[in-house]
Amino acid sequence: MTTSLIDRYVRTALRRVPEQERADIDRELRASIDDAVDARVENGEPREAAIEQTLLELGDPELLADRYAGRRQVLIGPDLYPIWRRLLVLLLSVVLPIVVGVVVVVTILEDGAVGSVIGAAVTTALTTAVHMAFWTTAVFAVLERTGVVRGNLRSAWTPADLPKYQPESQTTGQLAAGVAWPLLLIVALVLQQFTFTDEPVLDPANWSFWWPFLIAVLLLECVYAVWVSRRGAWSHTVTLVNAGLAVLFWGPVIWLLASHNFFNPEFIAGLDWDTSDPLGWLTTTCLIVAVASAVYDVVEVAVKAERTRRGLPTQVAGVR
């Protein structure tokens, strides 16, 4: 029994190591087991119990073989895991919502049925998320197996790489987002007049005043984002300016929606949706989004300003 148990353990381990290394590992592993068993026997343990306890401490022979062979025992190791996690979080939090949003808009314009929109959103979100997670993980698993480590992907870490924790200021990403979203809305507002659909989505009559007015407000939003970034702190002044911009932008939008002057009547007439009142469905949905967005925008900035005034802890950008 003694020889059989050790032999079975050693042979199981050797199955997972390269053939040219088996002889050396066989001798090394047996010598290690014999030394451990002899030490336990000298301390008064029965030999069979000593062998069993030694093998228990060595653990699974297949995992032991992986260590002897120098094989990674994880799909993505600690060197690449932080990069994999940051990239996957970025894809799921930024790229995925954009993809789903585009699909939802296209589905609304082409079909418009509530069931179709919801189905397209859910299907796209699940399918895209699975593909992002799978292919990102697959690429990093290959990098892990081929020996590429974090040091090969970026320069060596130095204390200069430490982030500057400034809770009261905006990060570069926040500034970019604050400037980008108004510009994207301006581009969408202009392009919808000439592209996307046969008829403009929004009422062309509003180009006489309201659409240029909203474009001017959006440009002020860009200036506001730069001003807040340079100011470096939230305050009640910032809150008042933000609330004023919210009223200037969302006020006309909500009024145009409520008075049914927001969407182009010819565009609405051309919709073939599973509802007798596509304008009512669109208006209600957009009104809910507009009111919620306006309230959230004003309240978020007001809360940040009040916490700064009272000296309360605030979320440091980039830290969870």
The pLDDT score that the predictor gives to residue 130 is 92
Nearest to 24 by CA among 45, 32, 43, 154: 32
Nearest to 94 by CA among 173, 182, 192, 163: 173
* In the chain, where the domains are located: 2-69, 73-155, 167-320
List pLDDT tens digits, range 39-79: 888 888 888 888 888 888 888 887 777 777 666 666 777 77
pLDDT tops 50 at residue 319: no
To the nearest 10 degrees (0 to 180), the angle between helices 114-145 and 81-90 is 160
The pLDDT score that the predictor gives to residue 315 is 52
The pLDDT score that the predictor gives to residue 214 is 94
Split at pLDDT 50, 70, 90, the class of 2 is very low
Split at pLDDT 50, 70, 90, the class of 1 is very low
Weakest-pLDDT range from 38-47, 142-151, 186-195: 142-151
| Stretch 22-44: mean pLDDT | 85
**CA 33 – CA 54 distance, rounded (Å):** 7
**CA 166 – CA 314 distance, rounded (Å):** 10
**DSSP label of 196:** S
In the chain, at which residue ranges do the beta strands (DSSP E only) sit? Answer: none
Mean pLDDT of the chain: 79
DSSP H stretches of helix in 236-277: 236-258, 265-269
pTM > 0.75: yes or no: no
pLDDT tops 90 at residue 20: no
Nearest to 246 by CA among 174, 182, 303, 304: 182
**CA 193 – CA 3 distance, rounded (Å):** 85
**CA 236 – CA 300 distance, rounded (Å):** 12
List pLDDT tens digits, range 246-271: 999 999 999 998 888 998 888 877 76
Place of tokens 């390269």: 18
To the nearest 10 degrees (0 to 180), the angle between helices 2-14 and 22-42 is 140
**CA 256 – CA 253 distance, rounded (Å):** 5
pLDDT tops 50 at residue 318: no
**CA 216 – CA 205 distance, rounded (Å):** 17
Nearest to 22 by CA among 70, 68, 71: 68
Split at pLDDT 50, 70, 90, the class of 156 is low
pLDDT tops 60 at residue 163: no
List pLDDT tens digits, range 101-122: 777 776 766 665 666 777 878 8
The pLDDT score that the predictor gives to residue 215 is 94
Residues facing residue 202 across a β-bridge: 263
